[in-house]
Chain A
């Protein structure tokens, strides 16, 4: 995720202090990974340097978190361009799991067991996300669903692979 664009976007509705920006980010997008103050300051100083934000006021007491930032016209254009740009779909062609399956077949180990273990691990996380979703608000549900659909895709691949292990085994060994 582009932290710079996200912080800029949060500034569009009005100027904010550094600590306030961090809190807004964490509340909406930082579910598992809150921002470090250091990330906020380095990002804001880069945005300042590029003319995408300006300092709109400084609270007494000093420290970078006391600075109040406002977005500039160039900043608004930058957010707009970023939002309009489709995200590059992940190609997912570097699967560690695929590598492990092929290596176990090559070395005569049990690849079906490996897949069973992976399914159990995936389902464990899926259960946790499903519980979190049940107790959460709409934002939690959307975030968890996104993760759940990806994990489900992994498991579909896993079942297809499990069903074709014998064929894969004869191919990798030939």
Chain B
């Protein structure tokens, strides 16, 4: 793919954990509004790639550019500010704060960026509604089903209007029907707001919600856009 107009690009990423080579020269690029599936077997380096792209893990070498700026050239404070303002995250498990209600969980990223409580919760309520879980707003995460909890997590990841959503196996803990509904709601919402989605999954039916796929094998990412 051409980096022209790309929102987020990575080139020649390498990352080792001790003796393990997790990334061995991975390239990546994503445009605004695009949903890209990152596929590949377990242990191939998908999550490490996502963490590097999101500035959570620093690669040993190679570069990640977001809107032209190199992440590794930023200070830690700049990087975490960027993560809060421009990125959203949704993972497979355990992301909701158990002591807070669902609506408070969704409102949390807004509160952290200084939005007043009343407005933060009003916006969060709209997102819960959009994810079809307005009925669990006042419940705590321990009192809702896995599928409901994951929808709350998706609402929380999108409430700040991120430009990039990082989703690592977002449906991994859900049954097929719930997983597909979450994918449909997630991709619809992302496409409406031109949010780019980096979707790590090893499930083909989940990847089918993407626009194109990148396959990671042994720490090397291959863009499949031109294949076949």
Say whether A associates with B: yes
Q: Give chain A residues whose Cβ lies under 8 Å from the Cβ of B210.
A: 127
Q: A116-B215, A159-B41 are in contact. Are A152 and B204 (CB under 8 A)?
A: yes
Q: A120-B213, A120-B224, A120-B228 are in contact. Are A127 and B41 (CB under 8 A)?
A: no
Q: Mark A138-174, 1 if CB is under 8 A from B, else 0.
A: 0000000000110110011001001100000000000
Residue from B184, B211, B227 having most chain A Cβ neighbours under 10 A: B227
Q: Give chain B residues whose Cβ lies under 8 Å from the Cβ of A156.
A: 204
Partner of B204, one of A116, A121, A155, A162: A155
In the complex, what's the smallest C-beta–C-beta distance from B21 to chain A, in angstroms? 18
Once the chains bind, are B208 and A123 in contact (CB under 8 Å)? yes
Partner of A116, one of B41, B208, B209, B222: B222
Once the chains bind, are A116 and B227 in contact (CB under 8 Å)? yes
Q: A116-B222, A117-B228, A119-B224 are in contact. Are A127 and B215 (CB under 8 A)?
A: no
Q: Give chain B residues whose Cβ lies under 8 Å from the Cβ of A162.
A: 217
**Chain A: number of interface residues, binned into ranges:** 20 to 34
Q: A126 in the interface, Cβ–Cβ < 8 Å?
A: yes
In the complex, what's the smallest C-beta–C-beta distance from B201 to chain A, in angstroms? 12
Partner of B228, one of A121, A152, A163: A121
Once the chains bind, are A117 and B204 in contact (CB under 8 Å)? no
Complex alpha-carbon distance, A121 and B208, angstroms: 12
Partner of A123, one of B41, B184, B207: B207
**Chain B: number of interface residues, binned into ranges:** 10 to 19
Q: Give chain B residues whose Cβ lies under 8 Å from the Cβ of A152.
A: 203-205
Once the chains bind, are B184 and A116 in contact (CB under 8 Å)? no
Tell me the nearest residue of chain A to B225, going by C-beta: A120
Once the chains bind, are A116 and B224 in contact (CB under 8 Å)? yes
Tell me the nearest residue of chain A to B183, going by C-beta: A130
Tell me the nearest residue of chain B to A117, going by C-beta: B228
Complex alpha-carbon distance, A116 and B227, angstroms: 7
Q: Give chain A residues whose Cβ lies under 8 Å from the Cβ of B213.
A: 119-120, 123
Tell me the nearest residue of chain A to B226, going by C-beta: A120
In the complex, what's the smallest C-beta–C-beta distance from A81 to chain B, in angstroms? 33
In the complex, what's the smallest C-beta–C-beta distance from B202 to chain A, in angstroms? 8
Complex alpha-carbon distance, A117 and B211, angstroms: 16
Once the chains bind, are A117 and B227 in contact (CB under 8 Å)? yes
Once the chains bind, are B41 and A163 in contact (CB under 8 Å)? yes
Interface of B with A (CB < 8 Å)?
A: 41, 184, 202-205, 207-211, 213, 215, 217, 222, 224, 227-228
Instruction: With A148-B208, A163-B41 given, name 18 new contacts (CB 8 A).
Output: A116-B222, A116-B224, A117-B228, A119-B215, A120-B213, A122-B204, A123-B208, A123-B213, A126-B205, A126-B207, A127-B208, A127-B209, A127-B210, A127-B211, A129-B208, A130-B205, A134-B184, A152-B203
Q: 5 closest A-B pairs (Cβ-Cβ)?
A: A117-B228, A126-B208, A120-B228, A130-B208, A155-B204
24 A–B contacts from the bound complex (CB under 8 Å): A116-B215, A116-B224, A116-B227, A116-B228, A118-B228, A119-B213, A119-B224, A121-B228, A123-B204, A123-B207, A123-B224, A126-B204, A126-B207, A126-B208, A127-B209, A127-B211, A130-B205, A134-B184, A148-B208, A149-B205, A151-B204, A152-B204, A156-B204, A159-B41
